[in-house]
Every structure is written in structure tokens, then in C-alpha cells.
Amino acid sequence: MAYRINQAHLETVLNSINSTLGQRSKAWECDEAGRPLKANVGTYVLDYAYGGVCLAQITNPGGGERNVTQRGTKRETYNAMRAFLAGVAAAQS
């Protein structure tokens, strides 16, 4: 029987993707009060909308993103992110 994929599973793979590609783990740089100043371009993030989730990458300092995977269930996105990470690892070796 398959186990349930939750946000923690997605974030673990997300951290691996950002680490492997040398990107920052935080999507935004914040000031001392915790207010966001600018987005970290190149960082991969999880984008939740319409009851689904996808892997996205920040593309400009204002926070614009591009989808890397299709929006789907947590399990579908988890599997797509694992495949993406495997592809990155294969390309680096």
C-alpha cells in the first residue's frame, strides 16, 4: 500500500533540488523586520493553486515564476520532482 505524500515530502525534494543546483533555499531576501525585499532569482519553489501544486522557478527579482512541472496532486508533483532531480544528477555526472 502506498503512503500519503505530504508537504514535508515535497519540501525535502525541493531542498535537494536547490542544494544540488547551488540555489538558495529561501525564495525571498528579507529585511530585519522580516519584510520581503526581493526574490532570489533561480531558486526553485512550490507553487500551490487551484487545489494542486507544481515545481516552479523564480525568474525575476519581483518574484515572477515559470512552471517547471505541470500542476497536479502532491504525489504527481513529488514523482515529477524526483525525476527532475535524477535528470539533474545525471547531467552533472
How far is the C-alpha of 46 from the C-alpha of 57, rounded, in Å? 9
pLDDT of 72: 97
pTM exceeding 0.85:
yes
**Does 54 score more than 80 pLDDT?**
yes
- Quick one: average pLDDT of 61-88? 95
pLDDT of 30: 77
- Does residue 29 or residue 72 have the better pLDDT? 72
Instruction: Render pLDDT for 1-29 as a digit per residue (tens, 0 to 9).
Output: 678 999 999 999 999 999 999 999 888 87
Torsion of CA 10, 89, 45, 49, to 10 degrees: -60
DSSP 11-27: HHHHHHHHHHTT--S-S
CB atoms within 10 A of CB 80: 17
